[in-house]
Structure 1
């Protein structure tokens, strides 16, 4: 069965989408694993990033993760990633924002387990399932955590993200104790907004002091090459290699931690 890993934090702009998309890419393209990416954010940025810069998320209207969850059947809605025969995706677009309304008006089962039950149909098709979550502690994030073996908590070096991290970890612990006792917190992944700023460095040190045993050793620094992934996609070239290098180190840590926890 696939190992399911979510990336989350309720603070926007914390590199959830970039990191989860790169993780899915590295697992498939460089580690040879069969991977399903799940875009659980109605902005559809993971869909755009993995499908390529020329893709419009509305191209997948009626063929997304939302429809898969409504039918409890993921296989019917899996899309192939161009140029990577080991990586598939369940796409998202704006209508996923209606998921909470559908959940409370039209769904009769356990509302936290809709995604898990949907992914059960493809669990044996993949080695890993990577879930990108929205910047909120809402129904999509709850469903992602309930479906996961492990979660990576994203931390950008800022006051607002520092305020959010404790509440996110509390939510993970709540899910562990109520609906998914297999969920493990793989760790907190720290990223510097700007390595030249003293306040950024201070928050990196502060979060390590608070959660020393939980933090990954890898600290990501945002670079122009990473920022241009949304423009260039995962086309081969020196800039892609530059963008991926810091994430390769993180993935080595993640694989070691997930190997122990799941």
Structure 2
């Protein structure tokens, strides 16, 4: 059975997609991985496939959810990494689900879990990226996951977002009791700014049992992954992902197969 991990917080600019992409890449070095893009920006799709999200029209997670069948919408990146792509049309997912199941139906939040279930034996890990919103997209991702990594960019607005997101995790657990918070990842740290350190320390004091010890700093090579991707032509890959290795080790220790 695959272990499902989603990355989330209802705030943009917290490195959800970059981290989900790097973790997918790292797991795929030795395991079978399905990366699921639940963000209508389609950035995880573009990062892992090196294709424009617009190239996947009519072949995305939206159609998979509409048809209750993920199989024919899976895009193969290589022998160990597959992607369920997204593009901007995923924005209509709430309307699609409510028209199909009704405004009061809990089934609206169960559809991603439903379509991933038949794929459980094919993969070792399912990695799910989420949008920067507490939405039907995010709730479907949480209900479909075994673990969630809470993304935390060291700022006042992200600090105030964390408890609200944890409340959403609690709501999702009503439909998915096995969901666990793997931890809070402090990311995009700017070592030149005192307030970054202050907010990193603050979240550690607030949630001492949840924070990962690893703190991801802003790094140019990591930022350029969105352009160069995980290709042989990218001679910065080692530099880009090096600081994620300690986090990846911690994540493996917290995620029980």
With structure 1 as the length reference, what TM-score do the two structures score? 0.94
1:86 aligns with 2:84: no
Give the 5 Å matches for 1:222-233. 222-233=218-229
Cα contact 1:155–1:190 (8 A) shared by 2: yes
- Assess if the C-alpha contact under 8 Å between 2:24 and 2:35 holds in 1: yes
1:138 aligns with 2:130: no
Q: Does 1:256 align with 2:253?
A: yes
Q: Per-residue CA shift, 1:98-148, capped at 9, x if unaligned?
A: 000111112356111000001112111100000000000000000000000
CA distance in 2: counterparts of 1:10 and 1:197, whole angstroms = 24
Q: In structure 2, the residue corresponding to 1:255 is in which secondary structure?
A: helix
Contact 1:192 1:201 in 2 (8 A): no
Q: Report the secondary structure of 2:34's partner residue.
A: strand
Is 2:41 aligned against 1:47? Answer: no
Deviation of 1:192 after TM superposition, in Å, equals 3.5
For residue 101 of structure 2, the aligned residue among 99, 103, 107 is 107
For 1:188-239, what per-residue CA distance to the aligned partner results, in whole angstroms no more than 9, with x for missing partners? 0001441110011100000000001100011000100001101111124541
Structure 1: distance between partners of 2:60 and 2:235: 33
SS at match of 2:13: coil
- Of the three residues 161, 165, 183, the one matched with 1:164 is 161
Find the aligned partners of 1:75 and 1:192 in 2 and give their Cα distance: 35
How far residue 186 of structure 1 moved from its aligned partner, in angstroms, is: 0.4
RMSD between superposed Cα atoms in Å:
1.1
Match of 1:25 in 2: 25
CA distance, structure 2, for counterparts of residue 193 and residue 252 of structure 1:
19
1:242 equivalent in alignment to 2:239: yes
Cα deviation per residue 1:162-188 (whole Å; 9 max; x = unaligned)?
Answer: 010010011111211x10001000000
Matches of 1:118 and 1:174 in 2, distance apart?
Answer: 21
Residues 91 and 79 of structure 1, relative CA distance in 2, 3 Å threshold: same
Aligned to 1:207, the other structure's residue is in SS state helix
Query: Size of the alignment, in residue pairs?
Result: 253
**What SS does the corresponding residue of 2:28 show, helix, strand or coil?**
helix
Contact 2:14–2:188 (8 Å) recurs in 1: no
Which SS does the other structure have where 2:110 is aligned?
helix
Gaps of 5+ in 2: none
Output the CA distance in 1 between the equivalents of 2:206 and 2:188: 17
Q: CA–CA distance in 1 between the matches of 2:227 and 2:112?
A: 30
CA–CA separation in structure 2 for the residues paired with 1:212 and 1:91: 35
